[in-house]
Amino acid sequence: MMISARNITKRYTLKGTPAVFDASFAAPPEGITTLLGPSGSGKTTLLRVVAGLESVDQGQVLFDHRDVTRLPARQRGIGFVFQSFALFNHMSVRRNIGYSLEVRGVSKADRRRRTDELLALVQLEGYGDGYPLQLSGGQRQRVGFARALASKPEILLLDEPFGSLDTQVRLELREWLTQLHQTTRLTTLMVTHDQEEALELSQQIVVMDGGRVVQVGTPSQIYDQPKTPFVAWFVGTGNVLRGTVEGAKITVGSLSVAVPSGVPDGSEVQAIVRPHHFRLEKNGAAPGRSVGTITRLVGLGGNVKLQLKLPSNQSVTVQLSRREAESMRLEVGDSVTVDLAEAKVFVANYSI
Amino acid sequence: MTMTESWPVRFLLIGLTLGFLGLFVVLPMLSVFVEAFARGLGPYLAKLMQPDALSAIQLTLLVASIAVPLNVVFGVSAAWLICKYRFWGKSVLVTLIDLPFSVSPVVSGLIYVLMFGRRSVLGTWLEQHDIHIIFTTPGIVLATIFVTFPFVAREVIPLMQDQGNDEEEAALTLGASGWRVLFQVTLPKIKWGLLYGITLCTARTMGEFGAVSVVSGHIRGRTTTMPLEVEILYNEYDTVGAFALASLLMFLALATLIAKKIIEVSQHRT
């Protein structure tokens, strides 16, 4: 089932900026779409609007071609998973999972059969008679998923489902969700502030900032063709270099970045450089062309992250493979020359 | 935390605390029972069996059985309204709930006399339709409700605010109706706080003197509640009678304390 949001505006207060402003996107059937953005960007509000937990001031929500904008949450036929798990702690795990069936008047025997299926699906066989508070965080959230799936909804909505879990468990559950999605093929809409999670899990990403949808695209579109400096910076940590175009390039300190043709001389532009787009060369190779000094160098497993101080006093983050760094024998204090052939350049008037 | 005070300081502090509690709390409490049983168990029971005493006990129980359930319904609805919805004037409502705590009970009683009394428009109208509020049981019930309505709401609101709304919203997305959410999700979540509120509310309802005294009219055997009857008996120099009835209220207070303790322990366990 396709989820479409059309020009959604939601205000919590009469005055002041709206939490969501004129937001539109469509989540394709059977795919995982993520709403990605920093806190306060309106992503959770937009998800709650789709769920029917929040009313809208303007705009429409459609499930396929059906307008559900005025339909209460309990009639939308969705499964919702909360960051806080939101389990009913006074009910057994089994009753939690079967709650949507209990509400619909499904017989006890059928409920038992279905909850057994779901306990198996979320790998919690044997935990049915326990209570939520006896489970670990990861197990609780799997109960949350099972409960949301019990009545066979056609849409699954996830509000930072891994947000209150430890890194280790989070990575496990992320893997588990991919498998779950492959078996259920449910149209899934997930909120996250974690760009890695979004890039890894989703077929489509909706990037939000300040209550607006900034870009909608596949993970590679978002990463490789960011529409604004904000998207480039938020997804994939881009370094921002500002400069004035002169002869189809900008110069930052002694560093030159080529600008796409068509940008007139004299325009203010911002160049976005991914940490791994820097090509470094140790200074010895070309004396007198030094463009930066290494101020910090940290090993991160197979990669090395370093801070480079440019003559303009701006610091940029650079990432190299460990092998590359070791073969050049890079150390803190070294001067290096930089090649920026892969930098993305944005024309001015975009703001960060 | 470790104690760093030297032992004389410790003894002084403990002594002061115990002395104060003994003098102002334990001793008066004991004296109630001593006075009540001054002539033994027989006269004590006989005093309690007197028709006026019995009718006072009856009236008190009747008032409590009406006022407490109404305040439970009111308290839970007010808490629900305040915690689950955003609306204009919410902070005014929260302040209003506290009003009976800050108004003297006597004034609360007077408000009702002014509202329903013969000199008011409403009172005249009611009189013409043969409805009597002041100096009757309904008046006592109304005044009691007014004085005791913050107890349940005050206990439940912070609890609900603290627990948030996620479970309720989860139930909604699972297809539950509003009533089902209330009975299967919200009430189980707040049950210990609610029970504590009910206990306090009951104790205060039975013990209320000021407001009830103003609206009751002190008609013996008809509109005197236990605290009012205690005062009348005491003024008539019937010490045993007064203290016998007072001892019942004291038992109620002790029962409330025990209930409070049990609720706290159970709450801790879950």
User: Is residue B47 classed as helix, strand or coil in its secondary structure?
Assistant: helix
CA dist A190 and A157 (Å) reads 6
Residue A99 at interface with chain B, using a CB cutoff of 8 Å:
yes
Rounded Cα–Cα distance for residues B200 and B217 (Å): 26
Q: How confident is the model at residue A28 (pLDDT cuts 50, 70, 90)?
A: very high
Q: Which two tokens stand for residue A61?
A: 């929500």
Sorted by sequence, the CB contacts under 8 Å of residue B257 that are 6+ apart come out as: none
Question: Quick one: three-class SS letters along B114-135?
Answer: HHHCCCCHHHHHHHHCCCCCCC
Q: Quick check: B215 and B139 in contact, CB under 8 A? A: yes
d(CA A36, CA A195): 7
- CB pairs below 8 Å between A and B: how many? 62
Residue B164 with chain A: CB contacts under 8 Å:
84
Query: Which of B168, B173, B267 should we substitute to test contact with A (largest number of A Cβ atoms within 10 Å)?
Result: B173
User: Which positions in chain B touch A140 (Cβ < 8 Å)?
Assistant: none
pLDDT of residue B90: 86
The minimal CB distance from B172 to the residues A12, A74, A151 is found for A74
Residue showing tokens 């006022």: B67
- Residues of B within 8 A of A87 (CB-CB) are 167, 170
How is residue B35 written in tokens? 């006075």
Token pair in block for residue A93: 């795990």
Instruction: Please answer yes or no on whether A84 and B164 come within 8 Å at the CB atom.
Output: yes
**Is B173 within 8 Å of A90 when comparing Cβ atoms?**
no
Nearest to B226 by CA among B249, B255, B259, B193: B249
Distance CA A33, CA A29 (A): 10
Q: Which of B197, B251, B248 is nearest to B69 (CA)?
A: B197
Long-range contacts, stretch A221-225, CB < 8 angstroms, 24+ apart: A223/A199
Only one residue has tokens 């991914």, namely A274
Model confidence band, residue A25 (pLDDT cutoffs 50, 70, 90): very high
pLDDT in tens, A233-261: 888 777 878 778 887 777 776 777 777 77
State both tokens at B213: 């005294």
Q: Is residue A238 within 8 angstroms of chain B, CB to CB? A: no
How would you class A328 by CB atoms within 10 Å of its CB: exposed for 0-12, middle for 13-18, buried for 19 or more? Answer: middle
- At residue A267, the pLDDT reads 77
| Long-range contacts (CB closer than 8 Å, 24 or more residues apart) made by A212-215 | A212/A20, A212/A21, A212/A22, A212/A23, A212/A42, A213/A23, A213/A24, A213/A25
pLDDT at position A348: 44
Q: Which residues of A touch B184 (CB under 8 A)?
A: 88
Q: Which two tokens stand for residue A69?
A: 């904008």
Give the ipTM of the model, two decimals please.
Answer: 0.84
* Residues in contact with A315: Cβ distance below 8 Å, sequence separation at least 6, in sequence order: A295, A307, A308, A309
For residue A227, give the DSSP letter. S
For residue A122, which phi and psi values (nearest 5 degrees)?
-100, 15
Say how many C-beta atoms besides its own lie within 10 A of residue A227's C-beta. Answer: 16
Instruction: State how far the Cα of A352 lies from the Cα of B185, in Å rounded to an integer.
Output: 44
E strands in chain B: none
> What is the identity of the amino acid at A239?
N
pLDDT 10s digits, A68-107: 999 999 999 999 999 999 999 999 999 999 999 999 999 9
Q: How far apart are CA B152 and CA B203, in angstroms?
A: 12
What integer best gives the mean pLDDT of chain A? 88
Instruction: State yes or no: pLDDT of A284 exceeds 60.
Output: no
From CA B24, how far away is CA B251, in angstroms rounded? 18
Nearest CA in chain B to A151: B174
Give the tens place of pLDDT for each residue, A128-174: 999 999 999 999 999 999 999 999 999 999 999 999 899 999 999 99
Residues of B in contact with A12 (CB under 8 A): 86
Burial class (CB in 10 A: 0-12, 13-18, 19+), B3: exposed
**Helix count and strand count (H, E) for chain B:** 15, 0
Chain B touched by A82 (CB under 8 Å): yes
| The pLDDT of residue A350 is above 60 | no
Q: Are B194 and A78 in contact (CB under 8 A)?
A: no
- Helices B51-84 and B226-235, packing angle to 10 deg: 140
Provide Rg for chain A, Cα atoms. Answer: 25
Pick from A53, A88, A103: CB nearest B167: A88
Q: How far apart are CA B42 and CA B2, in angstroms?
A: 52
pLDDT of amino acid A310: 82
pLDDT score recorded for residue A352: 35
Residue A289 has pLDDT above 80, yes or no: no
CA neighbor of A211 nearest in space, from A21, A17, A25: A21
User: Which pLDDT does position A351 carry in this prediction?
Assistant: 38
Is the CA virtual torsion A262, A268, A274, A280 positive or negative?
positive
pLDDT along chain B (270 residues), means of 10: 74 93 91 88 89 92 95 93 85 89 89 84 85 86 92 92 92 94 93 91 92 88 90 90 91 88 78
Residue type, A193: H
Residue A298: φ, ψ to 5°? -125, 135
